[in-house]
Amino acid sequence: MTVVFMRNKVVEVKPRADGGLDVHWRLSDDLIDLEIEMTFEVPDLEIVAAGARVRRSVFAGGIDAGEAIHRVEGVRVGPGLRKIVRGLLGGDQGSIELTEGVLECCNAVILHFTLPGIQLGEQYRDAPEAERLALSKAMIEANPRLLRSCIAFADDSPIVQALNLAREEAGR
């Protein structure tokens, strides 16, 4: 069966010479083609510049994305981000595509920083269980928000249970 609608999205992170990060995001589907460019300051992860352009749209009128997106300049990636961005760009008079695009740029920045840790962990793939557990423990200690964030770090996950057991044994 042929498809009636297709959407392609891509987001890319590119480090800058000044230590910041440039993020390019683009959405193209049957109705619109929208791109966002954002610059993040490191280590604060503040959005220091944001631009957007609608390259193609079936709509003759509506929000000017290039103007609206400046509202997120000054926002930092951190707690409450979704609420803040949805407050600035979403709602009945806002744009879902623009809002989610900004949030996906921010998420890509987080994943840019997550990737090296994941790559480091790959060295331990065939290591003894104790070493792999030590790595998981270090991950959770470095980022306590991981706990209960997904099935891998749920209370009944073998990873969390093994860590709890290891803690109990260390305490004896």
Partner 1 sequence: MITFSRSQLVGMEFLDEETVRFHGTQEDHIYAMEVAMDVRIADGRILAIQGWMKRYTTPVCPRAVDRLQDAVGISLRDPSWMPLVMREIGRKGCEHFAEIICECGRCLDQARMSRDLAAALKADPSADLAGLAKQWTASHPERPGATLTVTAV
* β-strands 46-57, 32-41 pairing: antiparallel
Cβ closest to partner 1, residue 53 vs residue 171: 53
Find the shortest distance in angstroms from Cβ 97 to partner 1.
Answer: 6
Kindly state the helix (H) or strand (E) to which residue 93 belongs, with its residue range. none
Binding site residues, partner 1, CB under 8 A: 1-15, 29-32, 34, 52-66, 90-98, 100, 104, 108, 111-112, 114-115, 118, 121, 136, 148-152, 154, 157-159
Find the shortest distance in angstroms from Cβ 15 to partner 1.
Answer: 6
Residues 6 or more apart whose CB falls under 8 angstroms from that of 88 comprise: 71, 72, 75
Contact in structure between 105 and 23 (CB atoms under 8 Å): yes
Find the shortest distance in angstroms from Cβ 172 to partner 1.
Answer: 26
Instruction: Write the DSSP symbol of residue 151.
Output: G
Cβ closest to partner 1, residue 9 vs residue 137: 9
Contact in structure between 84 and 69 (CB atoms under 8 Å): no
Find the shortest distance in angstroms from Cβ 29 to partner 1.
Answer: 6
Closest CA to 53 of 70, 65, 62, 41: 65
Find the shortest distance in angstroms from Cβ 40 to partner 1.
Answer: 12
Kindly state the helix (H) or strand (E) to which residue 97 belongs, with its residue range. helix 96-122
In the numeric block, which tokens belong to residue 126?
Answer: 């065939």
Cβ closest to partner 1, residue 31 vs residue 130: 31
Cβ closest to partner 1, residue 66 vs residue 74: 66
Cβ closest to partner 1, residue 156 vs residue 168: 156
